[in-house]
Structure 1
């Protein structure tokens, strides 16, 4: 959620005094401004916008019931670490039972309380009731996991007069926190926790790489400590079945540790409880690597070293940034050397992945040097092999990217009646297996070819409602992005890949719990992974024009600008290495690419089907 962040989350320094003093009219207690006295310049030290804090005001004496409800709602959007000020609007009993950490409900607009008398009115000692309502945008649960939600919000807040002071206070309220979208964008930040893939292994059984587990934490309330506590509690529910943590069960921060932060050398020391006292060095370094990867985006300069300590304060292990990269393959691992597409002769060609004026060239091997006409292709992540779909979409070929190599027979055929009812563009996963969907109306299937050969496995999709129109497997090997079409509408779904190798030599593979991550788009026409937690999507809202945007795997919109507009986009390719340019196929301009801070540049007027390895 960042596309409209400007103006709410990034404040100008001139507003600092107002935010720290009385909340710039955002928070209760600032009903008026002084109308006398001298105007004076306020001196302030320049600081990062991220350090601007918003503090709530406590209830004023003899405040009306309406002021109490409004003040409480506004206090929920402040930077009080434990919601201390918000609790002052509650009775003693309500303070004991209210759990603000249970969930955060995000509404399209700030909740607007409407009075509904519980007694005879405010001039009596009887209770008073307010209704809170609005349209939901999302919910953040107790694990900090974000989920889009387009339902309705309807809750009540009950107030009573305190017997001694006769002040109005809230004695009945919903659990959790509620706020409008703009306040959520200002208060919360998305951070990736990292775990290890449990069902993607090398021949030795060691984890091949890390998997991003995005969560939202309060941006101004010690986010580093929040994210460490969240990581130690384990992965979010959706991701949990396919990842593992190296931390022993029950590991927490040492009792008494309230805050973590990097020192002047960008080193973070993390004291742990007794559960971690006896882990071996190999396990400890994996634990520290998880933390180091998680810390990378939390500070402007990054964290370069993590030290773990035992419960007695002695050192458990230390891992540097360089060492962490040797412990786990984080993100994409090796940077792609080339970007690929189909040229006007329907052959596979390539060009350097980084910005270059070098013209595209045919790939070595039969898919680039032979006479087989293609309409789409996929290149393995090590760039040693490629798979190509024939021009009519009926056949899938696999060949090595070695000069002079032969192609052989097709490894897969589709019986679909038309080209649009045949094979999709394939996708290679981290294990070197090849995924493709057959869109044959009589027998639509998602298929997996182990190492790109042999009898295809039919992937089970028990909860997928519709026909798969596009397939992209994430670099981590445990998540898959699918465009699914049903009744003329297409949606972007993220599924969890589950492999069951206990049923024999050929594993059973399933896509479990697919979830929509761009529910506002009625028609999704193209997509590609654009990071370990982000995709670039081309689509349109109901009755709207085509647009291109980034979305995260949890369905939220990442902070930052969307790609600049491009007309008639048919296909889009991005690298999970976010430093590399976007590449697209436009009906008007052919193959074009977009580097950070630049405009779309034309590459090949007649090219189609751009892809990066994967």
Structure 2
């Protein structure tokens, strides 16, 4: 038989045969394939119910070279914990050196495989080329990153002398699969660490939890794998801005099996001796990291117990975790704020049914200065407003009789669109705003909203900032950046260090590590944080129509339904507290989206914001 093509042929499509019983699906792989003819590539296995586990079949004795390649690629999409079945398609030497955990490459479709010498199958040596279009990669730290361009890798096969069986003896490191198989096999989970370089990260302050999203295989003991990943430390992108309470060298005890909670919801986590000397307070921080990480992944976990040897280090409940670590999602906003038709700052109760706004206490609610955009501090005691012409930034107290004073920042931009963006507050009381003046664009931070504006360094920025939103943790910042005809959503890391490397009280603030959260969108028109590691975005793809969607900070798409369609959106706001409804400013005025309902008009007005 001649060399076979494992790809999209003109012959009859070949689909992997599956057997389902007791929650297990067996991918028949090459055992179900014909031994001749033009073959279609590895078919993407249908997305199964979350309780169904998928396993591949090992190679048959008389499998052709094409069937070996097909079976191997199919086995990569199974739920085999250690890829034992996939290794059966390799020679013993290749099986020992292949490291699937190094990376996962996600393609737009299933990988196409073609033999380089289709007529020389009888030589005992063949090379297949795997091709496709890259969508994303997941690295050894399980961190997701969007990718593009062509995928092109070689797989070499040899026919074993004694058995006459084909096996793969050269294989790319890592695994590769189509997007639909990736969505079935993997899930995004937030690991949690503590902010280390924010103003409130010192002694005596409640540590701020920061989400670090990673992807883990959905049906291969995700709880244990996430615990190992958490203890192993944050991803490289986030690492400079956070700390872990787990001492260096800490790991699960060597004999640890699968971690599962008992019938009372307690998860016992046995650690090695590196954690033996931690005190109670530090141990509770470690337990809080575990509980926050497992909260959505393993809802049955109500309590964590950390142990070394036969000694208990500490226990902590889910409620206790909220007392140990602060998170933006724990702060429920009291009000929704916006600008009314008299250009005053007004508010209504957040999450309620009220539609009649009241002016806020203080000068910003009295109409002393006409406003076009606003931001309210997370404690809801202070607010900032940009003047109607976009040229001046004011800060005022939300208390009766509060005076407004002079602007804290002015822009020299010639037009309204070339002046100040809407401001944004971080959880430490810092006020962020960008000046869009083409002659002198810049990103600024005002500590406590009142100090001299500090120009933020942006060495990685290529373009002009059109919008700013700071995460509640004070570690990450989202920017809409304009370059040419494109407006992109970028997420960066906030780095704080002594000014000029000195030890004085002066501080240099830099936004670094900018990366795209919406690589497929050509025009981003509005955005807001909508969770610990998620944003809601309004934009459109090239040649497409405007849409609203959720995106993760790593550029992946969260496994949640998108918001209901809404036309003419000019601004959107969400709270890290996911119980608060999504709110937008559209052609219909201020509208909100209650859970499980359609958009509802609230009232007339512009520039809606939750605190932050």
Q: Shift of the alpha carbon at 1:421? A: 0.2
Listed one character per residue, the Cα deviations across residues 265-297 of structure 1 (whole Å, up to 9, x for unaligned) are 221110001111111111111111100100101
Tell me, yes or no, if structure 1 residue 355 matches structure 2 residue 352. yes
- Residue of structure 1 equivalent to 2:530: 530
Correspondence for 1:164: 162
Deviation by residue 1:386-428 (Cα, 9 ceiling, x = unmatched): 0000000000000000012111111111100000000000001
Aligned to 2:243: 244
2-structure distance, mates of 1:179, 1:243: 32
The 1:484/1:179 distance shift into structure 2, 3 A limit, reads: same
Provide the residue aligned with 1:402 in structure 2.
399
Contact kept, 8 Å, 2:412 with 2:419, in 1: the verdict is yes
Q: Any idea what the Cα deviations from partners look like across 1:200-240, whole Å, max 9, x if unmatched?
A: 24363645310000000000000001111111110000000
SS of 1:558's partner is coil
- What is aligned with 1:376? 373
Pair 1:424–1:18, CA change in 2 (3 A): same
> 1:20 corresponds to which residue?
24
Correspondences of 1:136-535 after superposition (within 5 Å): 136-202=134-200, 204=203, 206=205, 208-299=207-298, 301-310=299-308, 312-501=309-498, 503=502, 504-535=504-535
1:358 CA drift (Å): 4.9
Report how far residue 361 of structure 1 moved.
1.0
- 1:346-379 C-alpha deviation (Å, 9 max, x unpaired): 1011111113235211111110123311000000
Alpha-carbon deviation of 1:528? 0.1
Distance 1:315 1:253, change over 3 A: same
Question: RMSD over aligned Cα, in angstroms?
Answer: 1.6
Instruction: State which drifts further: 349-358 or 287-296.
Output: 349-358
Aligned counterparts of 2:122 and 2:22: Cα–Cα separation in 1: 34
- Residue correspondences, number: 578
Q: Which residue of 2 aligns with 1:133?
A: 131
Partner of 1:37: none
Specify the alignment match of 2:92 in structure 1.
Answer: 92
| Map of 2:3 onto structure 1 | none
Query: Residues 201 and 333 (structure 1 numbering): CA distance in 2 closer, same or farther, change over 3 Å?
Result: farther
What is the Cα deviation at residue 531 of structure 1?
Answer: 0.1
SS at match of 1:455: coil
Verify the 8 A CA contact 2:469 2:479 in the aligned structure 1: yes
Question: Deviation string for 1:522-564 (max 9, x for gaps)?
Answer: 0101100000100000001011110100000000000011001
Q: Which deviations, in whole Å up to 9, do the C-alpha atoms of 1:500-526 show, x marking residues without a partner?
A: 135332310000110011000001011
Residue 253 of structure 1 aligns to a residue whose secondary structure is coil
Asked if the contact 2:303/2:315 (under 8 Å) is kept, the reply is yes
Q: How many angstroms apart in 2 are the aligned matches of 1:69 and 1:257?
A: 35
Compute the displacement of 1:123 (Å).
2.2
Q: Is the 8 A contact 1:564 1:599 kept in 2?
A: yes
Relative to structure 1, is the Cα distance of residues 201 and 451 closer, same or farther in structure 2, using a 3 angstrom cutoff? closer
The alpha-carbon deviation at position 172 of structure 1 amounts to 0.5
- Work out the CA distance in 2 between the residues paired with 1:30 and 1:315: 53
Matched, 1:602 2:601: yes
Q: CA 1:18–1:315 in structure 2 vs 1: closer, same or farther (change >3 Å)?
A: closer
Residue 574 of structure 2 corresponds to 574
**CA contact 2:589–2:603 (8 Å) conserved in 1:** yes
The residue aligned with 2:550 is: 550
Structure 2: gaps spanning 5 or more residues: 1-17, 35-47
Give unmatched runs, 5+ long, in structure 1. Answer: 1-13, 33-47
Alpha-carbon distance in 1 for matches of 2:278, 2:54: 42
Who is 1:68 aligned against? 68
Q: Is the 8 A contact 1:331 1:476 kept in 2?
A: yes
TM superposition outliers: structure 1 runs of 4+ over 6 Å: none
Deviation at 1:302, TM superposition (A): 4.3
Q: Does 1:541 align with 2:545?
A: no
Output the CA distance in 1 between the equivalents of 2:327 and 2:446.
25
Provide the TM-score with structure 1 as the length reference: 0.92
Query: 1:52, 1:177 → 2: CA distance?
Result: 21
Q: Which residue of 2 aligns with 1:613?
A: 611
Change over 3 Å in CA distance of 1:268–1:72 after alignment to 2: same
Partners of 2:383 and 2:30 lie apart in 1 by: 62
Distance (whole Å) between structure 2 residues aligned to residue 518 and residue 530 of structure 1: 15
C-alpha distance in structure 2 between counterparts of 1:260 and 1:410, whole Å: 56
- Distance in 2 between residues matched to 1:382 and 1:22, nearest whole Å: 54
Confirm or deny: 8 A CA contact 1:342 1:608 kept in the other structure.
yes
| Structure 1: distance between partners of 2:535 and 2:141 | 23
Kept in 2, the 8 Å contact 1:196–1:207? The answer is no
CA deviation after TM superposition for structure 1 residue 31, in Å: 4.1
Q: Residues 33 and 67 of structure 2 are in contact (CA less than 8 Å); yes or no, is this contact kept in structure 1? A: no
Partner deviation per Cα, 1:568-593 (whole Å, 9 max, x = no partner): 1000000011111011010x201100
Contact kept, 8 Å, 1:59 with 1:88, in 2: the verdict is yes
1:284–1:316 Cα contact (<8 Å) kept: yes
Question: 2:386 touches 2:394 (CA, 8 Å); kept in 1?
Answer: yes
CA apart distance, 1:21: 4.9
Distance 1:254 1:21 in 2: 32
Distance 1:309 1:426, change over 3 A: same
Deviation of 1:163 (Å)? 1.5
Q: Secondary structure at the residue paired with 2:283?
A: helix
